[in-house]
Structure 1
């Protein structure tokens, strides 16, 4: 269960008590450090015979998923910060806060794996080249949308200009699309990745994001709107 933002009192939250961006970043940075440290300890102590850690190849699904999902998650965190300042709705702000914390933590873990494996965080083969069946070919990289589900720069600019109900609806629609793309990538890793811990992580991610997609659908329905896809 992820951390949630403080609840509003008397139907509204005093401006001075709203979680600031710096507070979110500090909380997220501390959580990331703890997760990476825990992962390092788990990885280095789990091998009782002190054998070398099995390192995936740089072009493997394990490495590719870690690289690409870290980028995918970063945009989700950025969108959460944007909508946080565009609405005072408690439900949407709480969802955004939860997504920001969860995906920032997961991003730290993904990058931590790459560090432990001694693999580069970027690939000369481009995004999603690790997916079998050429799934990456279905997405045209343009205007900041690097992978399926990612918002374009134009869409991010629009989100930053909307307020209130309009911002809520557009954010929920963007995040629904974002999760849809993320679920597809996570399912591919669950099938193709070979590191047991990463396979389990990807499967759990797919299930959690599907649950959040249902919540987004419900929040959109309350606002007389629907997902775009």
Structure 2
């Protein structure tokens, strides 16, 4: 069992691994070249949901992740934090410029295909990028909260899959999972159920929830 000091060190490393981004006030590449549109670089070390909400309120509409993002299970804390930021930025409707790296073929499983597609995909199957870009649409894997339950609508794998989470223990874990929780701290049944449903990623010793919150409906609701 890890010592308390090791746990604190791991937590500190996780929170210190916030991604560095470049920011712009417009989506259009030509407009981004105009004076006053670029906001420079910034390290986003806070919770992904809070950071993206504040960026959107400040007028940011496009961001670039400056470093490559690894999709694999052995990804670093920096890549996991970047993917969580991507989840929130995609849900907020921001354009995200980023480079994905997949060394173990996991991209073929479409686990991250609800996220804004990368500009390039490095790995054994780079042709998967075309599929990712061709099949992407906003709100492809989303959650929405009701009184005493969370509903997940998932179209990453083609057909619509619906999950209703209403067990108190599972609901209690979702807030922690939004920003990543140590895998060993998840109740066994919560970990098993969410992993079998493909709703969590596990990287850098932490599990985090893949579906994004609905902030607006981009299409008629039946499409989502």
TM-score by length of 1: 0.26
* Higher RCO, Cα 8 Å, sep 6+: 1
Structure with greater proportional strand content: 2
TM-score by length of 2: 0.26
Structure with greater proportional helix content: 1
The structure number with the bigger radius of gyration is 1
